[in-house]
């Protein structure tokens, strides 16, 4: 049995090293013995946030509070489903990382265009910079999310502590019940709930970091693969006439097949989470707009923070979906621009393989229902606004 020796890539060429370190810490990558850390964060979030909100209810008779609670449920469910599917399909994720590593090794080897090395280095730097920035955000996010309502509640409590006749109601970070505790009116119960909530939000922050950074990275690498192939084709067109082209063109065909395989793996991992992302965000935006239009209070800060995060995340996926389709189409244009009709029959057959593959629609879908792209993002945004208008008019008529 032959042993294949693979060269060690420099750090600047490695595939999403920061995200993989975080996944290793929670047991989703090489250190599978720590998988219990992922399950603890996942289960604690479900126990503190999802189960009480979905089963026990919101705990308020005001429709605006109910709308806010349901909107939060959609957002948290989207995060839980996305992280859960990534954990369930981590073997596909490993196949994708290994295949990306093989392609990067090949296009940065000897006699390869130097601009390929620079393009990968630039892409990796951008991906790691985003992942580290997002890690800082999710580290402080749970505390920033809880500080405004908790600060207002404490001010109310100490301001009215000497007036027993005044009914005091505390502000909650999220609208929900909590296992029979009087979290809206009892100061001790409220503090227990806040401590549990902050710890659950910290666990969700780790899940959000893994879900968002890995999804962004997978889609960016899909687009990068096709961009590298286009570079290879353009380099191929500059080769001297006496250069043996058959082997180099066969390499381009092999790389193109690998890029298509990377896209298929990304599609397999992401199609259901992206479907949930778009559908839950559409409903979340509708209910969040209704709450914003009817309330101006301290809870508005929390709603707008989550609303902005959801909007930016969904737009990012849509933009990258369009980028993947455009970069894949660029490979077809690059190969078609070559004088393939002047080549030998053997080379023309290799050209044909790339052209045929390029003619297939390359895309990331949302559970096969629609293509993830900027156009679909606009449609979802319009639909959520339309649903908001219908909801507002219907309630106004009551």
Among 217, 276, 266, 307, residue whose Cα is nearest residue 84: 276
Confidence category of residue 165, pLDDT binned at 50, 70, 90: low
User: How far apart (Å, rounded) are the C-alpha atoms in residues 139 and 124?
Assistant: 22
Q: Give me the mean pLDDT over the 140-151 stretch.
A: 85
> How would DSSP label each residue in 321-351?
HHHHHHHHHHHHHHHHTS-GGGS-HHHHHHH
List pLDDT tens digits, range 24-66.
Answer: 999 898 877 889 999 999 999 999 998 998 888 888 777 777 8
Q: Where are the domains of the chain?
A: 11-396
Widest distance between CA atoms in the chain: 96
pLDDT for position 341? 63
pTM assigned to the model? 0.88
> How would DSSP label each residue in 48-98?
IIIHIIIII------HHHHHHHHHHHHHHHHHHHHHHHHHHTHHHHHHHHH
Q: Which two tokens stand for residue 108?
A: 């940065």
Q: Which two tokens stand for residue 224?
A: 């990068």
Residue 13, CB half-sphere, CA atoms under 13 Å: how many? Answer: 17
List pLDDT tens digits, range 215-261.
Answer: 999 999 999 999 998 888 887 777 666 666 677 777 888 888 888 99
Quick check: 125 pLDDT over 90?
yes
User: How far apart (Å, rounded) are the C-alpha atoms in residues 51 and 57?
Assistant: 9
Quick check: 164 pLDDT over 80?
no
How does 350-364 read in b/e, with b if 16+ C-beta sit within 10 Å? bbebbeebbeeebbb
Cβ atoms < 10 Å from Cβ of 2? 4
Q: What secondary structure letter does DSSP report for 259?
A: H
Helix, strand or coil, per DSSP, at residue 171:
coil
Average model confidence (pLDDT) across the chain: 84
User: How far apart (Å, rounded) are the C-alpha atoms in residues 385 and 398?
Assistant: 20
User: How far apart (Å, rounded) are the C-alpha atoms in residues 39 and 20?
Assistant: 17
Rounded to whole angstroms, what are the CA distances from 143 to 22, 65, 133, 146?
20, 22, 17, 5
Among 174, 134, 142, 189, residue whose Cα is nearest residue 41: 142
Q: Is 209 exposed, middle or buried (0-12, 13-18, 19+ CB in 10 A)?
A: buried
pLDDT for position 1? 36
Contacts of 352 (CB under 8 A, 6+ apart): none
Strand ranges, E, within the chain: 365-366, 370-371
């Amino acid at each position: 049995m032959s042993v294949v020796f693979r060269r060690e890539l420099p750090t600047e060429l490695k595939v999403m090293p920061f995200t993989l370190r975080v996944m290793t810490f929670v047991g989703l990558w090489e250190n599978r013995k720590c998988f219990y850390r992922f399950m603890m964060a996942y289960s604690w979030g479900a126990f503190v946030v999802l189960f009480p909100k979905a089963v026990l209810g919101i705990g308020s008779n005001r429709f605006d509070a109910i709308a806010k609670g349901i909107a939060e449920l959609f957002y948290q469910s989207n995060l839980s489903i996305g992280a859960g599917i990534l954990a369930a399909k981590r073997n596909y994720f490993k196949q994708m990382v290994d295949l990306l590593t093989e392609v990067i090794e090949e296009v940065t080897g000897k006699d390869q265009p130097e601009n390929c090395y620079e393009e990968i280095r630039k892409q990796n730097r951008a991906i790691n910079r985003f992942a580290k920035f997002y890690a800082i955000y999710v580290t402080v996010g749970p505390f920033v999310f809880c500080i405004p309502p908790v600060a207002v509640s404490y001010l109310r409590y100490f301001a009215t502590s000497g007036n027993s006749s005044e009914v005091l109601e505390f502000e909650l970070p999220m609208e929900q019940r909590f296992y029979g505790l009087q979290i809206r009116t009892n100061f001790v119960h409220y503090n227990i709930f806040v401590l549990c909530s902050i710890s659950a939000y910290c666990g969700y922050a780790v899940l959000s970091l893994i879900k968002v950074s890995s999804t962004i990275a997978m889609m960016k690498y899909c687009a990068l693969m096709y961009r590298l192939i286009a570079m290879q084709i353009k380099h191929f067109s500059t080769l001297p006439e006496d250069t043996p082209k058959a082997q180099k063109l066969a390499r381009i065909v092999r790389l193109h097949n690998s890029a298509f395989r990377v896209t298929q793996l990304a599609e397999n991992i992401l199609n259901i989470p992206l479907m949930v992302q778009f559908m839950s965000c559409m409903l979340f935006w509708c209910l969040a707009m209704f709450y914003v239009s009817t309330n101006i209070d301290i809870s508005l800060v929390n709603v707008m923070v989550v609303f902005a995060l959801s909007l930016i995340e969904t737009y990012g996926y849509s933009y990258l979906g369009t980028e993947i389709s455009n970069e894949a189409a660029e490979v077809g244009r690059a190969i078609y621009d070559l004088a393939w009709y002047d080549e030998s029959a053997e080379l023309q057959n290799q050209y044909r393989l790339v052209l045929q593959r390029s003619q297939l629609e390359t895309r990331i879908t949302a559970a096969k229902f629609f293509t993830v792209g900027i156009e679909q993002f606009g449609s979802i945004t319009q639909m959520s606004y339309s649903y908001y208008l219908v909801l507002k008019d219907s309630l106004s008529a009551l």
